[in-house]
Structure 1
Amino acid sequence: MPFLLLVDPALRSANNGFVLTSAALVLMMTPALALFYAGFVRSRNVLNTMVMSFAAMGLVSVLWVLFGYSLAFSPGQGVWAPFIGGLQWAGLSNWSAPYGDGQLSQGAVAFFQLTFAIITPALISGAVVERMNFRAWLAFVLLWSSFVYLPLAHMVWGPGGFLGPEGLGALDFAGGLVVEMASGVGAAVTAAVVGRRRNYPAHNSPPHNVPFILLGAGLLWFGWFGFNGGSGLVAGNLASLACLTTNSAGAAAALGWMVIETLQRGKPTAVGVATGAVAGLVAITPAAGFVSPISALLIGFAAALVSNWALQLKNRSGLDDSLDVLPVHGVAGLLGIVLTGVFAVKAVNPAGADGLVAGHAAQLWIQLKAAGFTLLWVGVGTFVILQALRMVMPLRASESDERQGLDINAHGEEAYNTEFTV
């Protein structure tokens, strides 16, 4: 008798429904990110900034069906098994098969994981808005997703993965390595290779629409409950824990950033509150299902301090990471990976591990090694891809296009009709 028949159909339906709902929440995060990013840029680049995220949705979705899910989550072959899966599930031919112990279908898991694969390169776009050649961006998303993201996802979450439970033993509940550190490191390298905006830093413009930023951040916060809450793939206590820790860290970081800005400049800014919340949500991502709500508060406050410091350091360095992807996602993601090794306790999740506070310093060392490997993998891979692209096409828009704005030059449209004024 097939194992699937031994599973309660009602339980399987409930878990599938939970994962599909979580996937829809995470998919919404990419348009939310587009809105968040669009608020920061000048009005003549709003559409191009948003389309960079929407283009990632289209490209990665097609890639995922053709070969992405198979390479990331199917069993690999031979010596390559810890690093990349096979092509036996190409075309999502296994969509109706049971996943794991049969309580889910492969189709539900494939859709859920697709949303992570979409938002990761979309995050990178924030480092190169207002200047990257749109065709080069499309080619970059295709190559980076195929050669950097897919192997990393397999190494952390795939069967027999090099960094995951059957390999090094790193804990990454919802993407501290795979999404946050990967996007932060990829963003820093891409910003450095593409180069600064032509008017940076002499004429660094303020955000053109702060309400966009707040609305985008709020939608990201809402979607993060699918991002982290759904990563246990079961509708139960673990999902409840992940949602509680997610909200706790986001709230603590938003408050922490308000305090820091009040000390720095006498008043908290709306942009700062939004930035702090995102930093806290990033930091809790790898730890969400492994730590207590109290630990999540500490992780959130730490994220506000460390990401704010990293942002100041980035500004002094001269790196034109336009929308601070490295300090908010890369650094906060690294912090989350490290603090997972500090605060993780098996008492809240027996499938996890005990960290430093539970008397097991070895897990902290494992987390550090996984973070170091991710930094090298993504950094070198991103650099090689960009150099290869540079040989066949320009990476950035022309000077005249950049000065006039990328909306009209890349897409033939403008975000705001200024023909008629009151």
Structure 2
Amino acid sequence: MDTGSIAWGVTATALVLFMTPGVAFFYGGLVKAKSVVSMMMMSFGALGLISVLWILYGFNMSAVGSPLEFAGNPFSDFGMTALASGESANTDLVGAAYGATFAIITIALISGAIADRAKFGSWMIFAGLFATIAYFPIAAWVWGGGWIMNLGTTLFGEDAGIGVIDYAGGTAVHINAGAAALALALVLGKRIGFQKGITKPHNVPLTLLGAAILWFGWFGFNAGAEWLNELANVGLIVVNTVGATAAAIIGWIVVEKFKDGKATSVGAASGAVAGLVAITPACANLTPGWALLLGIVAGAVCAIAVELKFKLGFDDSLDVVGIHLVGGLIGTLYLGFFATETGLFVGGGIEQLAVQAIAAFAVLVYSFIVAFVIGFAIEKTIGFRVKNEDEIAGVDTSVHGEEGYALVD
């Protein structure tokens, strides 16, 4: 492989790794001032733990030899010893590092649903178990030769030219994280005094900074894998990542204006993230015009979806469900209608929509069940939620012994 492609692989890896601190900033600004350290530590804790697990055995689990396999053998190359000494070690290790960044951010995204009320140690146990039982196998299903990757051939044969499209993680990352977030929100229950408007973002500029970092890093997220494809589709991916995200900002703030009377900066930031989520699976398989429409739809629908927690009674603190689960579903299913050549409305049949729907809802159900079982087991044994008095006092001091803002006279 030429050095330019390898350089882009390294750059993309750094960009996606930078997205997890971006999540920390985005989430950190949205919580109470007394919870910002706790919120950001969940992202940095995931960054540390999942990196280690991925190198030890997660990478091994993320590829299978047959669609019938659940996951790869975690001990097939424990610690990447053989990979690091192979003839193609240089490129193989860059690819492994790139894959690690996806695992890290998927776990970090879940934490927003349990802001203000989770124990850090319990979160770390959950993160390790969920990555092992859910993310690593799902990565194998979607990208590593598993059943989702082969679903179109299984159902319609090789000649049909149909396969599940998830270029950068609509199912494996966003539906996966969103479903897990819903499960944990149900396990931990509502914050004290939960109702609409009870908490406001304590630092809006921090949230906007986080959204900006995410958008910046997302070019590595969406276009990064093109280093293995001689950058053949990088132009389309880049313009779609710009266009859908920008359109989603417009979609969100227009709905917000009609719904609440004001377009807010937090709404614009949330709309940008919703657009990024939706374009993730679709970035290489839509023409730019359809990408703009996807952004408008995702921004508007997610702006409405974040209100569901008040109507349905679950406390998803930072709208992981409304943005990542709903946005991921929109982007994944949208391909069934508008994917270039195979979408229902652009010359294809119902087959593309069928495989997109099967993959999306299979991941949703599996991730929800796994997260609920793990979360419930932790809550009933060592406890997942902090004491009520610690929640009221602020989890930063009770869990970490630190304050986000030490004000001095």
CA distance in structure 1 between the aligned counterparts of 2:263 and 2:52, rounded to whole angstroms: 42
Q: Give the corresponding residue for 1:92.
A: 80
- What SS does the aligned partner of 2:177 have? helix
Q: Aligned ranges for residues 13-412 of structure 1 at < 5 Å?
A: 13-73=3-63, 75-76=64-65, 81=69, 83-86=70-73, 87-93=75-81, 94-95=83-84, 97=86, 105-159=91-145, 161-165=146-150, 169-201=163-195, 204-232=198-226, 233-346=228-341, 353-412=342-401
Q: CA deviation at 1:143?
A: 0.3
CA drift of 1:199 comes to: 2.4
SS of 2:225's equivalent in the other structure is helix
The separation in 2 between residues aligned to 1:194 and 1:213, in whole angstroms, is: 24
List per-residue Cα deviations over 1:54-112 (Å, max 9, x = no partner).
Answer: 00000001101110000112x347x852x21123232112135467xx9x721011011
Distance 1:376 1:98, change over 3 A: farther
1:13 corresponds to which letter in structure 2? T
Aligned partner letter, 1:124: I
CA offsets, 1:185-239, max 9 Å, x none? Answer: 1001100111111121277111100001111101100110000011333342312
In structure 2, runs of 5+ residues without a counterpart are 155-162
Q: Give the secondary structure class of the aligned counterpart of 1:137.
A: helix
Q: Secondary structure at the match of 1:196?
A: coil
1:200 counterpart SS class:
coil
Indicate the percent of aligned positions where both proteins have the same amino acid. Answer: 41
Residue by residue, what CA displacement relative to the aligned partner does 1:112-156 show, whole Å, maximum 9, x if unpaired? 110000001100000001101111101000100000111111000
Asked if the contact 2:170/2:332 (under 8 Å) is kept, the reply is yes
Q: Give the letter aligned to residue 138 of structure 1.
A: M
Q: Give, in angstroms, the shift of residue 355 of structure 1.
A: 4.8
Letter in 1 for 2:95: V
Q: Deviations over 1:318-375 (max 9, x none)?
A: 21000000010000000000011211115xxxxxx55542222211111011111111
- Could you say which residue in structure 2 is the equivalent of 1:5? none
Give the letter for the 2:238 counterpart.
C
- Residues 274-322 of structure 1, C-alpha deviations (whole Å, 9 max, x = no match): 0111101100000001111111101101101211121122222221000
What is the CA-CA distance between 1:173 and the residue it aligns to? 0.3
Contact 1:36 1:217 in 2 (8 A): yes
What secondary structure sits across from 1:44 in the alignment? Answer: coil
Task: State the AA in 2 paired with 1:117.
Answer: A
| CA contact 2:248–2:295 (8 Å) conserved in 1 | yes
TM-fit CA distance, 1:264: 2.1
Mapped to 2, the partners of 1:377 and 1:96 lie a distance apart of 36
Contact 1:19–1:234 (CA under 8 A) maintained in structure 2: no
Q: What CA RMSD, in Å, does the superposition of the two structures yield over aligned residues?
A: 1.8
Asked if the contact 1:42/1:208 (under 8 Å) is kept, the reply is yes
Instruction: State how far apart, in whole Å, the 1-side matches of 2:25 and 2:230 are.
Output: 30
Instruction: Return the alpha-carbon distance in structure 2 between the equivalents of residues 398 and 85 of structure 1.
Output: 40
Equivalences, count: 397
Inter-CA distance 343–89: structure 2 relative to 1 (3 Å threshold): farther
Q: Which letter does structure 2 place at the counterpart of 1:316?
A: K
Given that 1:408 and 1:414 are in contact with CA atoms closer than 8 Å, whether structure 2 keeps it comes out as yes
Q: One-letter code of the match for 2:298?
A: A
Aligned-pair CA distance for 1:399: 1.4
Tell me the distance in 1 between the aligned counterparts of 2:323 and 2:84: 35
Q: Is the 8 A contact 1:71 1:151 kept in 2?
A: yes
Tell me if structure 2 keeps the 8 A contact 1:96–1:107: no
Looking at structure 2, the residues matched to 213 and 65 of structure 1 have their Cα atoms a distance apart, in angstroms, of 31
Deviations 1:160-185 (A, max 9, x none): x1101466531100000000000111
User: Residues of 2 paired with 1:202 and 1:242: CA distance?
Assistant: 37
- Code of the aligned partner of 2:106: T
* One-letter amino acid of the counterpart of residue 334, structure 2: L
Aligned equivalents of 2:306 and 2:267: distance in 1? Answer: 11
Paired residue type of 1:229: A
Contact 1:173 1:287 in 2 (8 A): yes
DSSP-derived class of the 1:226 partner = helix
CA contact (8 A) 2:195 2:310 kept: no
Distance in structure 2 (CA, Å) of the matches to 1:239 and 1:67: 31
Worse-superposed segment, 295-304 or 227-236: 227-236
Measured after TM superposition, the shift of residue 44 of structure 1 is 0.7
* TM-score normalised by the chain length of structure 2: 0.93
8 Å CA contact retained: 1:165, 1:171: no
The answer to whether the 8 A contact 1:334-1:371 is kept is yes
